[in-house]
A and B are shown apart, each in its own frame.
Chain A
Amino acid sequence: MTKIKLFFLIGLAFSFYSCSDSMGSQSKEGLKVGDKAKDFSLKNVDGKMMSLKSFKDAKGYIVVFTCNECPYAKLYEDRIIALHNKYASKGFPVVAINPNNETIQPGDSFEMMQVRAKSKEFPFPYLRDETQDIARFYGARKTPHIYLLKNNLEVAYIGGIDDNPQNSDKVEERYLENAVDALLANKEVQKNVTKAIGCTIKWKES
Chain B
Amino acid sequence: MFKFFYISKVQLFSLILFSGLFISGKTNAQVLEIINYETLNKHIESASEEVKVFNFWASWCKPCVEELPHFKEVADKYSSVKFYFISLDFAKDKEKASKILEKKGIASKVYLLDEINPNSWIDKVDKTWSGAIPATLFVDKKRNKTSFFEKSFSQEELIKEIHNFISD
Contact = CB atoms under 8 A, between A and B. Distances in A.
A142 B129 CA distance: 11
Contacts of A201: 132
A30 to B, nearest CB: 10
Given A195-B122, A197-B122, A160 B131 contact: yes
A164 B122 CA distance: 14
A197 B131 contact: yes
B130 interface: yes
Given A166-B90, A195-B122, A200-B152, A142 B131 contact: yes
A165 B58 CA distance: 15
Contacts of A166: 90, 116
B60 interface: yes
B129 A195 contact: yes
Interface in B111-140: 116-120, 122-123, 129-134
A17 B31 CA distance: 50
A195 B117 CA distance: 9
Nearest to B127: A195
Contacts of B131: 141-142, 160, 195-198
A199 interface: yes
Interface in B123-168: 123, 129-134, 150-152
Interface residues of B, number: 21
B164 to A, nearest CB: 17
Contacts of B118: 160, 165, 195-197
B69 interface: no
The A interface is mostly helix, strand or loop, or mixed, namely loop
Contacts, number: 59
Given A71-B60, A141-B150, A166-B90, A199 B116 contact: no
A195 B132 contact: no
A175 interface: yes
Interface in A158-206: 159-160, 163-166, 170, 173, 175, 194-201
B117 A164 contact: yes
A128 interface: no
B88 interface: yes
Contact of B119 (A175, A198, A199): A175
A195 B133 contact: no
A164 to B, nearest CB: 6
A141 B135 CA distance: 12
B61 interface: yes
Contacts of A84: none
Contacts of A194: 119
A145 interface: yes
20 contacts: A71-B60, A141-B132, A142-B131, A160-B119, A160-B131, A163-B117, A164-B116, A164-B117, A166-B116, A175-B119, A195-B130, A197-B122, A197-B132, A198-B130, A198-B133, A199-B132, A199-B133, A200-B63, A200-B151, A201-B132
Interface of A: 71, 141-142, 145, 159-160, 163-166, 170, 173, 175, 194-201
Given A163-B119, A165-B118, 17 more contacts: A71-B60, A142-B132, A159-B119, A163-B116, A164-B116, A164-B117, A195-B118, A195-B129, A196-B122, A197-B122, A198-B130, A199-B61, A199-B132, A200-B61, A200-B132, A200-B133, A200-B150
> Considering the complex of A and B, which 5 residue pairs feature the smallest CB-CB distances, nearest first?
A142-B132, A195-B122, A141-B130, A163-B117, A200-B132
